Chain A
Amino acid sequence: MATESTTDFTLDTAAALAAAEDEGAIEGKSPWYLAWRRLRRNYVALAFLFVFVAIVVLCLCAPLYAHHVAHTGPNTGHLGETFTRDGQQVPIVSKGGFQNGQFHAGGIPVGPQLWHAGGKYVLGADNQGRDVAVRLLYGGLNSLAIGIGSAVICTFFAMVFALLAGYYGGKTDWIISRFFDLIWAFPVLLLAIALGTALSINGFHHFGINIKSGSLWIPTLVISYVLIPYIGRPLRGQILSLREKEFIEAANSQGASSLRVMFSELLPNIASSILVFFTLIIANNILTEAGLSFLGAGVQPPSPSWGTMIADGQDRIATAPWLAIIPGIMIVLTVLSLNVFGDGLRDALDPRAKVRMEH
C-alpha cells in the first residue's frame, strides 16, 4: 500500500500518488466500459453468446433454406411421395406390408439423410412427410420470437411497475405489490396452461384488441404475464433501497419532476440488473414455451415450435427417435447458451451482485 508509507496523505499528494501508480494520464472510464472489459476476457461467455447468435441467424434463414435447399414449406406434407437418394427412389413415409417375406410396419418416415438426398430431408421427415430440418428452423423462429418477445414485454412492464411502486411507495406500492403477490400465488406452469387453453379456444377480444385463437401472441402474452413478478419483485426491492440514497434527495431538492427522477436517476442505476434479468428470462421463457407447446397449450398445430415438435415425436420415439431428439438438442443449446452468457454478463456488470434467476 503506497498510502501507508507516506505520513501526510492529502488531496494534493493523492493525485501525485495515483499518477505515479498508473504512470500515465488518468482517464475516466464509464462503468459500462469496465463491464465490457471484464466481459471481453470471459471467453466462455463470449463463445456461448456466439452460439446463441448463430442459432438466431440460422433460424432467420429458414425461408431461404426452405426455398433454395429443401424445396418444401414447414407445413407441407408429402405422404405417399418419393425422393431420390443416390439415384434410387425412396418413399418418404414407408408403406407397410410384406417385403422379401418379412412384415414391415408402415408409416415410418425416413431418417436423417444428411447430404445424400441433395439437401432434402437433411434431418429426416416426420410422420406426415414434412421436412424436419425446415420445421426445425421455422419452429426455432417461433420459439425464439415467443421467447424474446415475451421477455421484452415482461421486462418492460416489470420495470415500469417496479419504478412506480418503488418511487411513489404508499398506496401505489401496496397495490402493485399485491398484484405481484397474486400472480406469484399461482404455480407458473399451471397458470400459463389455464390461460393458454382458455384463450386458445376462442382467442381474446376485449378493449379493442382482437387476437385470433391460433395466434403466436397468445403464448407470448401469457408467458410475459405469468413471469412479471419474477422480475418485478427484485427490481422493486432495488429501487426501494436506491430511493433513500443522497443523489435522489439531491435531485428532488433541485426540483426534478418525478418522471425525471424515475427515468434519468433511478433507471440508469438498475439498468445493469434489467439487462441480466432480460438475458436470463429469455432462456426461461423459451423453456416455458416449450413446456406449454408440449402440452398443447402454447403454439397450436400445424405451426411448428420446438415444443410441439417434441410432442409430435413423443409417440414415435421407438421408430423415429430423431423427431424428438433434434428439437430437444436445439432447446438445450439455446437455453444453455443464454444461461452461460447471462451468468457471465452478471459477473461482468457487477461482480458482487446477487441477481439470481429462479427456474
Chain B
Amino acid sequence: MISFVIRRLIGALLVLIAVSFITYLIFVKIPGGDPAFRIAGRTATAQNIEDIRQKLKLDAPFYEQYWAMMKSLFSGSLVSYSSQLNVVDQIKAGIPATFSLCIGAAIIWLFFGILVGIISAVTAGRWSDRVITVMALIGISLPVFWLGLMARYLFAQGHPFAFMPDGGYVPFTSNPWGWFTHLLMPWWVLAILFIGFYGRVLRSNILDTINEDYVRTAKAKGLPYKRVMVKHVLRNSLIPIVTLFGLDFAAVIGGSAILTETVFDLKGVGWYAAQAVQDLDLPPIMGVTIYATFFIVLFSVVVDLMYAWLDPRIRPT
C-alpha cells in the first residue's frame, strides 16, 4: 500500500509539472503576437506592457519565462491589469460560492440518481424504464446554461412564477436561509443533468449483479428479498458509481460550474473566469486554469487512494 501511495504521488507530481508547462505554452507560446500585449488586456498602458515583460522575463529563454510565470502565479503576486485586482485573492474570494454550488448539487444528483436507478432496476421492463431512458437522454442533451436561464425565466422572473430569488450568492455565514434559497435553483439545474445518467448506469449495474452466482446463493439459502437487494446487490452495484462520482465531481468543479455560476450570477471562481473571458483579460484565466487543474489532479489522487483502500484488488495497477 505504501509503495502504491508513493508511486501515485510521484506520478501526480510529474503531471502537475507537465500541466503547468502546458499552461505556459497556451498563454505565452501558442497564440500569435506579443504575449505581453495580450496579457496586459484591453486597457493596457505602455508602462503595463513593459512591467509584464520585466516580470515574466519575456525576453529571456523559455525556461526562464516558464519559471517567472510559475513564480508570479504561486507567490500570489499575479495581478489583472484590466481591473488592478490580485488574481489569487479573487480566486480565494470565489471558493465558498463554488464549493457551495458543487457540493450541494453533488448531494442532490447522487441521492436522486441512486434512487432513480434502484426504482427503475426493481421495476425493469415497465414504464419507469422508458421514463429513465428518456430522462437520461434529455439530460445529456440540454445545455446547462440554457436550462439555468429557463429556470430563472420560469420560476424567478414571474413567467408564471416568481417564488425563487433571481440569481446572486448569499454567504452562509451572513444568512443561512438566504444561502439555501439562492442556491436551490442552481443546485437542481446542475444536478438534473446527472440524475438520469447515474440512474441509467446504476440500473444496468444492478441488473448485471442480480444474475451473479452469489446473489442466487443468497436467495437460495432463504435470505429475505430486501436483505439480498441491499447487502448483496446494491453494495456491489455502487462500486462503479463511486469512481464515476469522483471524476464527475472534479469535472463539475473545474468546468460545468463555470456556466452555472455565470447564468445565476453566483460570484464563484467560475464566474470570475467567465468575467475575464468577456474582458479578454488573461491573468485571471491563467490563475483559474492552473489552480483548478492542480485541484483536480490532487483530488483524483485522493479518490484513487481511497478506492485502493476500499478495494485492495486495484492496488498493483
Task: Spell out A's residues near B (CB within 8 Å).
Answer: 181-182, 185-191, 193-195, 197-206, 210, 283, 287, 290-291, 294-297, 307, 310, 314, 317-318, 321, 324-325, 328, 331-332, 335-336, 339-340, 343, 357-359
B32 at the interface (CB under 8 A from A): yes
Nearest-CB distance from A351 to chain B (Å)?
13
For the complex, what is the distance from the CA of A335 to the CA of B159, rounded to whole Å?
26
Q: Given the known A-B contacts A190-B254, A198-B282, are A295 and B15 also in contact in the complex, defined by CB atoms under 8 Å?
A: no
Contact B141 A332 (CB under 8 A): yes
B98 at the interface (CB under 8 A from A): no
Nearest-CB distance from B267 to chain A (Å)?
16
B237 at the interface (CB under 8 A from A): no
Q: Note all chain B residues with C-beta closer than 8 A to A195.
A: 26, 30
Listed by A's residue number, 8 A-B pairs whose Cβ atoms lie within 8 Å are: A187-B250, A190-B292, A190-B293, A193-B258, A202-B32, A295-B274, A331-B143, A331-B146
Q: Note all chain B residues with C-beta closer than 8 A to A310.
A: 143, 145-146, 149
For the complex, what is the distance from the CA of A131 to the CA of B293, rounded to whole Å?
41
Contact B19 A317 (CB under 8 A): no
Q: Note all chain B residues with C-beta closer than 8 A to A190.
A: 254-255, 258, 273, 288-289, 292-293
Contact B15 A197 (CB under 8 A): no
**Which listed residue (A185, A331, A359) contacts B19, Cβ 8 A?**
A185
Q: What class of interface size applies to chain B in its complex with A?
A: 35 or more
Nearest-CB distance from A179 to chain B (Å)?
10
Contact B27 A188 (CB under 8 A): no
Contact B137 A336 (CB under 8 A): yes
Contact A200 B153 (CB under 8 A): no
B120 at the interface (CB under 8 A from A): no
Nearest-CB distance from B66 to chain A (Å)?
16
Q: Note all chain A residues with C-beta closer than 8 A to B31.
A: 198-199, 201-204
Q: Note all chain B residues with C-beta closer than 8 A to A206.
A: 30, 32
For the complex, what is the distance from the CA of A336 to the CA of B276, rounded to whole Å?
31
**Which listed residue (B27, B142, B193, B262) contacts A198, Cβ 8 A?**
B27
Task: Spell out B's residues near A (CB within 8 Å).
Answer: 15, 18-19, 22-23, 26-27, 30-34, 38, 137-138, 140-146, 149-150, 152-153, 157, 159, 193, 197, 247, 250-251, 253-256, 258-259, 262-263, 273-274, 276-278, 280, 282, 285-286, 288-289, 292-293, 296-297
Q: Note all chain A residues with C-beta closer than 8 A to B288.
A: 190
Nearest-CB distance from B33 to chain A (Å)?
3
Contact A205 B141 (CB under 8 A): no
Q: Which of B26, B149, B159, B254 has the most CB of A within 10 A?
A: B149
Contact B255 A189 (CB under 8 A): yes
Closest to A203 in B: B32
Q: Note all chain A residues with C-beta closer than 8 A to B247.
A: 358
Closest to B274 in A: A295
Contact A189 B193 (CB under 8 A): no
Contact B153 A321 (CB under 8 A): yes
Contact A336 B157 (CB under 8 A): no
Contact A191 B289 (CB under 8 A): yes
Q: Note all chain B residues with C-beta closer than 8 A to A201.
A: 31, 33, 38, 280, 282
**Which listed residue (A193, A317, A336, A339) contacts B277, Cβ 8 A?**
A193
Contact B282 A197 (CB under 8 A): yes
Contact A205 B19 (CB under 8 A): no
Nearest-CB distance from B78 to chain A (Å)?
15
Q: Note all chain A residues with C-beta closer than 8 A to B19.
A: 182, 185-186
Contact B137 A339 (CB under 8 A): yes
For the complex, what is the distance from the CA of A284 to the CA of B120, rounded to whole Å?
26
Closest to A187 in B: B254
Contact B140 A290 (CB under 8 A): no
**Which listed residue (B138, B157, B253, B289) contacts A317, Cβ 8 A?**
B157
Q: Given the known A-B contacts A291-B143, A294-B259, A321-B159, are A185 and B282 also in contact in the complex, defined by CB atoms under 8 Å?
A: no
Contact B146 A328 (CB under 8 A): yes
Q: Note all chain A residues with C-beta closer than 8 A to B23.
A: 194
Contact A185 B293 (CB under 8 A): yes
Contact B250 A295 (CB under 8 A): no
Closest to A212 in B: B32
Q: Given the known A-B contacts A194-B285, A332-B143, A339-B137, are A296 and B277 also in contact in the complex, defined by CB atoms under 8 Å?
A: yes
